[in-house]
Amino acid sequence: MGVSTICPTPAPPAMTLENLFEFPEGRRILTCLQCGMCAGTCPYGDVMDFPPRRIIAMLRAGMLEKVFESESLLACVACYACMAKCPRDIRLTEVLLPLMKEQALLHMPELPGELQKALQNTLRYGNPLGESARKRAAWVKTAGVPVRIFQEDPAPADILWFVECYTSYYPRGQDCSRATARLFHALGVDFAILGNEEKCAGECGRLTWEPGLFETLMDYNMAVFQKYRFRRLVTSCPHAYNAFKNRYTSAGFGYELDHATPFLGRHLDRLRPLLSRRLEAKVTYHDPCCLGRQNEFYDAPRNLLKAIPGVKLVEMTHNRVNSICCGGGGGGMWLDTYFKSRGMERLSERRVKEAAATGADVLAVSCPYEISRFEDALKVLGFDKQLRVRDVTELLAESMEG
Amino acid sequence: MNLLVLLKMVPDVVEELDIASGGAGLDMDVARMALSESDDHALEQALLLKERMGGTVAVLAVDAAEVDDALFTALAKGADRALKVDAGGVSQAGTRALADLLARVIADGHNLLPVDLILTGTQAIDDLDGLVAPLVAHQLGLPYLGIVTEVTPEPAGKVASVVKEYSGGVRGRFEVDLPAVLGIQSAERPPRYVPVAKVRAAMKTQRIETVEAPTLADGGMALAEVKSMSKPEEAGRAEMIEGTPESASARLCGILADRGLV
């Protein structure tokens, strides 16, 4: 009895707001010039009572209670724009804002319902959608190619493919997983997945409000990794990539790491001869925050797209480091109703307007959040006839057919 | 104000439910257990009353899979005590035995008395009986009201004003002498979020008091037992309309027109 989801192991000593200045990343806040680049580049800086620049000023003046009582931090979509532009390299998105949000969560009388549900679901079912943990690998039956699940066949594999949540459950995300499986198969990659043993990597938990949720998921996933033998972890989700690269290392994560798009980019020479079908499409590529700004994979997805016969790549006004967030990061995925109730423009809508303005037929993405966000936004704005959303892997797999 | 909340774990319907091989119950080996949703509301209401009026909140549950998570979560949210009755499967024995067991634990010491209000969910999805609260009230000789959506104790703590829901949105306001047992339909606000770090801290610093099961009337025998249980039958009357959006919508319009619905 009493099987527990929540692991009670003590967390390693972590940075808190109280001990912030004992860490080099924290002390860096003292060097802030108050130049306002962060507030200016923040996609919701105009609607925040306290944009990042003011938060730093108030932190230094010891006036934080006001920030916690405001709703400013709910509007942070963890897009890394402020951090990318900061001339002093202050780790805003990585360090300061998560600590602030953690405190805001404790102060907030009520969390927006969808965000609360997503956090509770992620703890209980290992995915924010609230789907059964036992159905996480159900999509595999429709993959069309063999997908090995470690639990069923624990022989060592070269690559552990960490599929992640939306790519496991959301129907359009599953399309992306089926495409990835077919690409891996065609390239002869020796891979296996964790199947129903996998749980969300937890990146949005950490960047959102919930270090405890993140640590619980990290402890869990690390324990599962140790059951199997593999050399490299490849994930379909830039958020998971980010979590493994920057946070799981504190729990001993030492595997080679890749996101599926740059991984395929490195195998482009072998992939190119397989891309036989012309797609005849004008494609614009959206840089996901965690893959682009945070990890600087700008060229790999573009090179993959250009390798598809018939694809003409066009750029949106804001691209690469200036890419506009889809609004799904840092918990924004579950705050659309809240944003709408505050009269805020959905960032996904702001983004697809730019995409439509390029005259492209396809909006290419490489983050599982973006498929649902952009498809919804296209429908809301009436662009869904002229513009399709496709993951880079979907386009590659489409070109491989026939 | 001393508040006691009765919590119960029920099968989680997010997971697929299966009938056990005997055919007379759920296969509990594959079911996952979750806190009954209306019990979560009862806990929220108790915590709100504690914040407003002072006092303590104790939570009491019968042992079940994942019950420790539910109890530590209650402690992390602000409950002061958590008790777990080690009842060796009595929760399967029916509502009457469960109510008998809870009433005896409440009355048998364990420092749960005196109590001002006993709150529990008005109905749980595993039996839909809605009888635990009234049976506990009966056994303890206390007044009972169910389908409650609002509780306002008078400052002196002798009586409470209680709103109960009826069908069609009709609401009735009652005045009930305390102590009383209330079946909560919904709390004033949705159950609060508790950061997982707080639950982890509760697991380290607080403990669940384990209580031995008391001897029950009739040995906890159920007066009515399930003879057989079955999943919904597939009637096969649904027709899946295939094809392009245009042809499917044309077919749908045709069906609606044939039936005289449009």
pLDDT tens string A27-58: 898 999 999 999 999 999 999 999 999 999 99
Q: Is residue B92's pLDDT more than 80?
A: no
Q: Is residue A355's pLDDT more than 50?
A: yes
CATH class of A271-400: alpha beta
Residue-by-residue DSSP string for A22-83: GSHHHHGGGG-----HHHHH-TTTTT-SS-HHHHHHHHHTT--HHHHHSSGGGG----SHHH
Q: How far is it, in rounded angstroms, from Cα A303 to Cα A307?
A: 6
pTM: 0.91
- Domains A114-266 and A271-400 in one fold: yes
Residue in chain A lying closest to B14 (CA): A132
Q: Is residue A3's pLDDT more than 80?
A: no
Q: Which residue has the higher pLDDT, A263 or B94?
A: A263
pLDDT tens string A280-312: 999 999 999 999 999 999 999 999 999 999 999
Q: What pLDDT is stored for residue A7 in this prediction?
A: 54
CB-CB: which of B63, B65, B196 is closest to A212? B196
In this predicted complex, what is the ipTM? 0.87
CB-CB: which of A8, A113, A124 is closest to B200? A8
Q: Which residue has the tokens 């250009």?
A: A306
Measured between beta carbons, the chain B residues lying within 8 angstroms of A213 are 195-196
Residue type, B116: D
Find, among B112, B109, B130, the residue nearest to B8 by Cα.
B130
CB-based contacts of A212, cutoff 8 Å, min separation 6: A11, B195, B196, B197, B198, B199, B200
- Among A29-38, A266-275, B221-230, the minimum mean pLDDT is found in B221-230
Q: Is residue A11's pLDDT more than 70?
A: no
Cis, bond preceding A12 (omega within 30 deg of 0) = no
Q: What 3-state class would DSSP assign to B210?
A: strand
Pinpoint the alpha helices (H) of A297-346. Answer: 299-307, 336-341
CATH class of B2-220: alpha beta
DSSP A170: S
Q: How far is it, in rounded angstroms, from Cα A224 to Cα A200?
A: 12
Q: What pLDDT is stored for residue A10 in this prediction?
A: 47
Q: What pLDDT is stored for residue A55 in this prediction?
A: 92
The angle formed by the CA atoms of residues A374, A375 and A380, to the nearest 5 degrees, is 90
Measured between beta carbons, the chain B residues lying within 8 angstroms of A384 are none
Contact yes or no for B78/B87 (Cβ under 8 A): no
Q: What pLDDT is stored for residue B28 in this prediction?
A: 87
CB contact under 8 A, B196 and A210: yes
Q: What pLDDT is stored for residue B216 in this prediction?
A: 85
- Among A233-247, B113-127, B174-188, B212-226, the minimum mean pLDDT is found in B212-226
Find, among A78, A75, A170, the residue nearest to A128 by Cα.
A170
Domain boundaries in chain A?
20-107, 114-266, 271-400
pLDDT tens string B45-78: 999 999 999 999 999 999 999 999 999 999 999 9
Contact yes or no for A282/A362 (Cβ under 8 A): yes
Mean pLDDT calculated for residue range B34-54? 97
Measured between its terminal Cα atoms, the distance across chain A in Å is 54
Q: Is residue B115's pLDDT more than 90?
A: yes
Find, among B6, B145, B188, B29, the residue nearest to B82 by Cα.
B6
- At A213, phi and psi to the nearest 5? -65, -45
Which CATH number, 2.40.160, 3.40.50, 3.30.310, 3.10.450, labels domain A114-266?
3.40.50
Q: What pLDDT is stored for residue B236 in this prediction?
A: 77
CB-CB: which of A6, A111, A131 is closest to B203? A6
Q: Is residue A165's pLDDT more than 60?
A: yes
Pinpoint the alpha helices (H) of chain B. Answer: 37-53, 67-77, 95-107, 132-140, 196-205, 245-258
Mean pLDDT calculated for residue range A109-129? 93
Whole-number average pLDDT of chain A: 92
Question: For chain A, what percent of residues have pLDDT higher than 70?
Answer: 95
Question: How far does B141 lie from chain A, in Å, by closest CA?
Answer: 33
